[in-house]
Structure 1
Amino acid sequence: MPLNLPDKLPAIELLKEENIFVIDNSRATRQDIRPLRIVILNLMPLKITTETDLVRLLSNTPLQVEISFMKIKSHTSKNTPIEHMKAFYTDFDKMRDEKYDGMIITGAPVEQMDFEEVTYWDEITEIFDWARTHVTSTLYICWAAQAGLYHHYGVPKYPLDAKMFGIFAHRTLQPLYPIFRGFDDVFYVPHSRHTEVRKEDILKVPGLTLLSESEEAGVYMVMARNGREFFVTGHSEYSPLTLDTEYRRDLAKGLPIEMPRNYYVDDNPDKGVSVRWRAHANLLFSNWLNYFVYQETPFNIEEIK
């Protein structure tokens, strides 16, 4: 079924070119069904790119999905046109009385700072707490996963000696769990981060379940509250060329950056990218929507608590 997106969102035309079925609000209002309401708090600097990546993965769903975009007042995006933000994003203050079936909170380019040093830390932790009573299931990605684990459960993050950068093999620790329905024994995920959370800290917290890890990349997925919270340290949503763009950008700036591991064909950037994570990225998001949002959320959305 299609995604219900704000009229004229750039992702609509971009994804139509990929033959992904999306509709705008005007058409969606003529369909007599109760859509799943998903809110995305997009903290990434390139908003339109992240919107398109996430919408692409949310498109394979059994029901109509209504997407809303949230922003925080205490930070102004420098890399996205202000007209785009005004047209498609709403301040948290104006959304706090709403309830949602699902929520996605993205990464942010602040991971090398202490959490409390982030200028919008107070506002974002308020949103973390709000989500617990206003959202059926919340998916925290990359920095948001580290921030959520720290805020809710006191799990610290640690700096890495070198950036975790590339495509890494992962395995499931709970293979029969519904979030992994259809997964292979080994699956691949992009990572791009300077910090990590550690297995030993996760295992100390009774309310956390470690679901997946990687020998090279460490902790990948942690669950809490029977699936009402998922913390995912990688970027399954990345498009094929995202790491390539990051790599070439940092090279051009003269920054210390190693070539992304296990990414290029024969480790040669001139030969292009070997995409090994697309199928499992689609499974991750469709399983989350199906088993932890659609099958768990009440028909009357106001009953979420």
Structure 2
Amino acid sequence: MPVLLHRPLPAIETLQAEGLDIRYAPKERGDIRIGFLNLMPDKITTERQWLRLFAQVDATIEFHFLFLNRWVPKTTPIEHIRRYYSPVSDLLKLDALVISGAPLGTKEYEEVGYWDELCEVFDYADDIAQTVLYLCWAANAALFHDYNIPRKQKARKISGVYGHRIVRPHPLIEGLPNGVQFPHSRHAEARQHQLFAHNELQVLLHAPNAGTFLAVDELRRRAFLLGHPEYEGDTLYTEFRRDFDKGLLPHPPEYYFVDEEASELPEPFWQASGVQLLQNWLHNWIKK
């Protein structure tokens, strides 16, 4: 089923070459209207990765990339933002809102330049969308803002592809097997004992050596995704090399390389499970 974009995003051509049905269709409307608040510094890569997954969901999706009104990105050309994105305040009625992560795991929330504006988005997100999906750092930030669950800094960065146990059955993980594998990449995580003990939250997928992958607030239709189903096969390696070049002495990603010599990268087999998860989310938590 197609993804319809009202702006001529460069990723369209790349993903069409992969055989995906993604269209620049400024006058067409989809069955499901999604806003994606992109906080990642490398916005172009994030666009490509997430559009690839949503283009495989069984639905006609109208997709809008959003930016914060009062924050000027420092790592993406402002021309790109102005041409391909809309202010988050412009879209007052969505079926679903996605708020991306950002590589801010070692910073205190209050030190983030756009923290106050992001908190405003957290406060009104439920009013403009039937359901909200929080990704990685944004998931931790929302758990802190809305549920007072702080992060715990890890002595060693969580990085690798991990197997997850199903903590409890739920429509959002229907079709995913026990042991399903997904990448994780973060320096900090919501305190696990508080996450499991919080009455409003249900942990659905959890990796013993990487922590929670998916938690939900059923009443408010919020999903908190703490891993990375969108990652491409080389993403964890690229992050490892980036950190190594910065002199951070990172550990290689765990359970990731195909061979013992750590020279062969995997195919992104986890993306199919990510598509299943997104389809479950949209089909179960959006009422038409």
Q: Distance in 2 between matches of 1:94 and 1:23?
A: 22
For 2:21, the equivalent position in structure 1 comes to 21
Q: Unaligned stretches of 5+ in structure 2?
A: none
1:78-135 CA-to-partner distances (Å, cap 9, x unmatched) read: 222221111011223333xx11000111111222112122121110011011111111
Q: 5 Å matches for 1:41-80?
A: 41-80=37-76
The question of whether the paired residues in 2 share the 8 Å contact of 1:198 and 1:218 is answered with: no
Query: Which residue identity lines up with residue 61 of structure 2 in the other structure?
Result: V
Distance 2:31 2:269 in 1: 31
- Partners of 2:245 and 2:85 in 1: how far apart? 32
Map Cα deviations across residues 29-71 of structure 1 (whole Å, 9 max, x no partner): 3xxx653110001111100100111111111233321111111
Q: Which residue number in structure 2 is paired with residue 108 of structure 1? A: 102
- 1:166-177 mapped onto 2 (5 Å cutoff): 166-175=160-169, 177=170
Residue 92 of structure 1 is matched in structure 2 by 88
- Residues 121-200 of structure 1 mapped to structure 2, 5 A cutoff: 121-175=115-169, 177-200=170-193
Instruction: Provide the TM-score with structure 1 as the length reference.
Output: 0.89
Contact 2:134–2:223 under 8 Å retained in 1: yes
Q: Which amino acid aligns with 2:23?
A: I
Write the distance in 1 (CA, Å) between the matches of 2:82 and 2:241: 31
Tell me which stretches of 4 or more aligned residues in structure 1 moved more than 4 Å: none
User: Are 2:31 and 1:38 equivalent residues in the alignment?
Assistant: no
Q: TM-score, normalised by structure 2?
A: 0.94
Say whether the 8 Å CA contact 2:34–2:94 is kept in structure 1.
yes
C-alpha distance after superposition, 1:180-206 (max 9, x if no partner) = 111111111111100011331013321
3-state SS, counterpart of residue 66 of structure 1: strand
Which letter does structure 1 place at the counterpart of 2:90? K
Alpha-carbon distance in 1 for matches of 2:10, 2:85: 13
Q: Cα offset for 1:153?
A: 0.7
Would you say the 8 A contact 2:7–2:85 is kept in 1? Answer: no
Shift of 1:169: 0.8
Encode CA deviations 1:256-291: one digit per residue, 9 max, x unaligned.
Answer: 211111111124332222534122111111111211
Identical-residue share of aligned pairs (%)? 36
* Cα distance in 2, alignment partners of residues 262 and 286 from structure 1: 27
> Once the two structures are superposed, what CA deviation does each residue of 1:145-188 show, in whole Å capped at 9, x if it has no partner?
0011111111111100010011111111123x111111111111
Q: What does residue 303 of structure 1 align with? A: none
Q: Is the 8 Å Cα contact of residues 264 and 274 (structure 1) preserved in structure 2?
A: no
Give the secondary-structure state (helix, strand or coil) at the position aligned to 1:38: strand
Match of 1:302 in 2: none
Give yes or no for the alignment of 1:205 onto 2:191.
no
Count how many residue pairs are aligned between Structure 1 and Structure 2.
288
Q: CA deviation at 1:253?
A: 2.7
1:270 to 263, 269, 274: 263
C-alpha separation between the residues in 1 aligned to 2:52 and 2:33? 16
